[in-house]
Structure 1
């Protein structure tokens, strides 16, 4: 081999890989199998080890994404009709958050490594993509690992995991003993990828003793469950959760009911028959058995694809496990966006608006709020001009993202662990959308220029946020004090007015939330 070939050739446990150069330096190794193809008899089964190879394997091309369609939260929404957003803003928003995965294939369990240098011993960031647990990809355009590596200086790894019904269909009860392990398959894929990273990353210039797992939305909620998943034990040392927490885990009976409804939609009598159903047929019906409204799917009683408290892959409720010290040895950096739900308000338009004020109060009661009228009054104090849709956005942002983030950090701190929190308040697509769900990805994936918003102010926020992630991955200290739930200005803010803020905010809405009953799982 010539010198340039040798520069991008590495030996891992399963064989030799040949990667390619990255613009500006470093190397990409793409399409590396970390598990056997989950096809044929391995469909809807736990991931199995890949087959080793003897020749040099080309690792210069991304593999297809897992099977998926338009995310359930975007299905039927049009392009933001009724939201007041222009077509270009909505398109940019969807691209920034959902990305789009391009080609997909059931043979999808591959990962990608972006490394600044092969001879180093750098911190490792393992990225778990979001996408509502029914979409996403470890490669472009959803995941720009090269940008994340460039901004943080870390070796970045991203792995595909199965999504939708193929990744989160809960069959343990419905299928009988032979299907006992077929639950949380996407989470099992993530855990296997993390074990691969631990065992192989040194060959790419990464430090196996300094691995941080990071993710956004469904990726962050996945990490919340990985904190309590035995299969992921000992595979990472720190965790960055952006717009996610331990707060989105479905009861086993909910998972079983969704599975039963899927079988009925497919006209099947037994779980075994799923092996022969064309994948496109499964994709055709999988959205019809879950909730597509962002509130219904995330509040108690909701139904969606996602992690199930099955008792085996996930033996304990993750929040309770953290409170008992299960993750005390893992440093946490927990972030939320100030205006998480504004994106869904814009995309879902009229369908998002509560029918009337009593309907919004009932939704608050569903979330465990014992004094919904007081909470609604508190949100009106925060935003005196808000209409019902905006009031719902304030409520759901707190219920699904901001308050669970603070609760996770508080539980970790009380258990003797380390937790830092931040609030993302920058507005990369302007004030109408604000700091929407996924807005931070525009910065950490260095897409400001692509979206036409590379202002000096936003570039500074990008560098500040990426710098905090880099410091946390390297040392466990992002640059501000650990979270103290009883302190004012306990949370770093990126963008917005003021560098430090109080989370939850010290206002009447937070006081009303403080009287809420303990959250019931969906």
Structure 2
């Protein structure tokens, strides 16, 4: 280095010492795969024997003038769009420590531009059945990209998994007089549900590019995602976009909130951030998404509301009238949470129109959780078993034992068997010969226990811990 300035020598030496570390942190080269969808070409990756596409847009960003508007079509792009990394989750409150997840499992970046899918598919699939998954999170938390929802096990059994991000909180469930006056010809409120229908329409138009069959689509969700599925069954705009449904701990058999009440609640909550009752639509859209997420009174939104154009009837009313989309339903809860009574009612209402309803209760408590879950598996405990995603879930990993892993294969296999079940069937078989019979009032539910599945009288099962019939 004779004749080289001392400062430059220092930089060169630092660079030389850092180079191996930088190289060690670089990701492995992508084993790329490209598909063509209606908006352009997507490049995903081959991973663990399956194809994965992340950050796939199914609607335009619901930002600016399109906040609190129906989801708009994806604008075509030029060239090949990378789909190898997740886009940020929808705007929601997160911990200041970006390494700590919120109660919806999300940490780090989130954004209002968030209408994206994660797609996991078998390679060289043709006519594959499809699972469209709606995540939980109380309608204001969560993301479809979380590890518990990893679709690898499904893909290895011939099922394509499409996991959906939908708008959250006050950016999803919000009505206001100023917004109604500006676009009176459009559906108002229920934007998460409108997003969900848009995602299903995208699947109908594009899933063949991934080897999927648009006529064999099962919609599924847990907690709030189960509530999304419950409502999709009652929406005319969703009819024909799916042929089966799964609701895990999310039987949302509640009336909608009257629109006038929701508007009043929104106006009152906006006063807490200094927005007056006479605010214009443009002024409302000028408020940052993060401001809504940071407000205790606004962050959760104001629930589903009636809308003559999009949601004229609450799901519970449609079910009672026998007017819901009549498809096979798999529904249940976990022993350590409430809600089994609602799941049983759902199975009764959904199963009275011809298509069968299959009822379950998940009873397995992992050994490493025995001291915490003294009343049985809690809310969300079944997810890493339904997806066989123990190693991807923050709830599992190395702490899981052989019994957990064996049951995960069994439960996931049963979910896959339901997804593959012909829509006209009245029962299905899984778990090496277990025949899952449909629930009828006064009938049986499948108990999912450490040793496997068995049928048991459903009316004898309490609604939740410490409750009796």
> Normalising TM by the smaller chain, what interval?
0.7 to 0.9
Distance 2:119 2:263 in 1: 36
Q: 2:264 maps to which residue?
A: 257
Counterpart secondary structure, 2:133: strand
Q: 1:446 maps to which residue?
A: 388
Q: 1:484 maps to which residue?
A: 440
Bigger radius of gyration, 1 or 2? 2
Distance 1:506 1:158 in 2: 32
**Aligned in 2, Cα 1:161/1:328: closer, same or farther, shift over 3 Å?**
closer
1:183-234 deviation line (CA, Å, top 9, x unaligned): 0101111110011001110110111110001110000011000111122121
Unaligned runs of 5+ in 1: 76-90, 292-303, 341-396, 515-522
Distance 1:453 1:323 in 2: 44
The answer as to 2:328 corresponding to 1:331 is yes
- 8 Å Cα contact 2:132/2:162 also seen in 1: yes
The structural deviation recorded for 1:509 is 10
Q: 1:159 maps to which residue?
A: 164
1:296-324 deviation line (CA, Å, top 9, x unaligned): xxxxxxxx643233343221121221233
- Paired residues, number: 413
The structural deviation recorded for 1:413 is 1.7
- 8 Å Cα contact 1:98/1:136 also seen in 2: yes
Q: TM-score, structure 2 length as denominator?
A: 0.80
Q: 1:348 maps to which residue?
A: none
Counterpart secondary structure, 2:220: strand
- 8 Å Cα contact 2:125/2:158 also seen in 1: no
2:290 to 256, 280, 298: 280
RMSD of the alignment, in Å?
Answer: 2.9
The answer as to 2:42 corresponding to 1:31 is no
The structural deviation recorded for 1:145 is 3.0
- 8 Å Cα contact 1:327/1:417 also seen in 2: no
Q: 1:301 maps to which residue?
A: none
Higher percent of residues as strand: 2
Distance 1:405 1:202 in 2: 33
- 8 Å Cα contact 2:359/2:446 also seen in 1: yes
2:36 to 11, 15, 29: 11
2:362 to 424, 428, 441: 424
**Aligned in 2, Cα 1:442/1:119: closer, same or farther, shift over 3 Å?**
closer
Counterpart secondary structure, 1:320: helix
2:93 to 62, 65, 69: 69
Q: TM-score, structure 1 length as denominator?
A: 0.73
Counterpart secondary structure, 1:316: coil
Q: 1:321 maps to which residue?
A: 318
The structural deviation recorded for 1:58 is 1.4
Counterpart secondary structure, 1:288: coil
- 8 Å Cα contact 1:221/1:248 also seen in 2: no
The structural deviation recorded for 1:105 is 1.1
Distance 1:309 1:101 in 2: 33
- 8 Å Cα contact 1:99/1:141 also seen in 2: no
1:56-104 deviation line (CA, Å, top 9, x unaligned): 2111111111001149xxx9xxxxxxxxxxxxxxx9xx88x73224311
- 8 Å Cα contact 1:229/1:313 also seen in 2: yes
Counterpart secondary structure, 2:214: strand
Distance 2:110 2:32 in 1: 31
- 8 Å Cα contact 2:52/2:119 also seen in 1: yes
Counterpart secondary structure, 2:459: coil
Q: 2:456 maps to which residue?
A: 501
Counterpart secondary structure, 2:172: helix
1:103-158 deviation line (CA, Å, top 9, x unaligned): 111111111211112442211001100011001112134642335544x5310001
- 8 Å Cα contact 2:43/2:82 also seen in 1: yes
Q: Map of 1:286-435 to 2, 5 A cutoff?
A: 287-288=296-297, 305-327=302-324, 329-340=326-337, 397=338, 401-428=339-366, 429-430=369-370, 432-433=372-373, 434-435=376-377
1:316-336 deviation line (CA, Å, top 9, x unaligned): 121221233333531111121
- 8 Å Cα contact 1:171/1:259 also seen in 2: yes
**Aligned in 2, Cα 1:32/1:475: closer, same or farther, shift over 3 Å?**
same
1:437 to 370, 379, 396: 379
- 8 Å Cα contact 2:52/2:118 also seen in 1: yes
Distance 2:326 2:177 in 1: 31
Counterpart secondary structure, 1:197: helix
The answer as to 2:55 corresponding to 1:117 is no
The structural deviation recorded for 1:456 is 2.8
Q: Which moved more, 1:120-129 or 1:470-479?
A: 470-479
Counterpart secondary structure, 1:251: coil
The structural deviation recorded for 1:175 is 4.0
- 8 Å Cα contact 2:148/2:383 also seen in 1: no
Counterpart secondary structure, 1:462: helix
Distance 1:159 1:506 in 2: 33
Q: 2:421 maps to which residue?
A: 475
Distance 1:191 1:241 in 2: 17
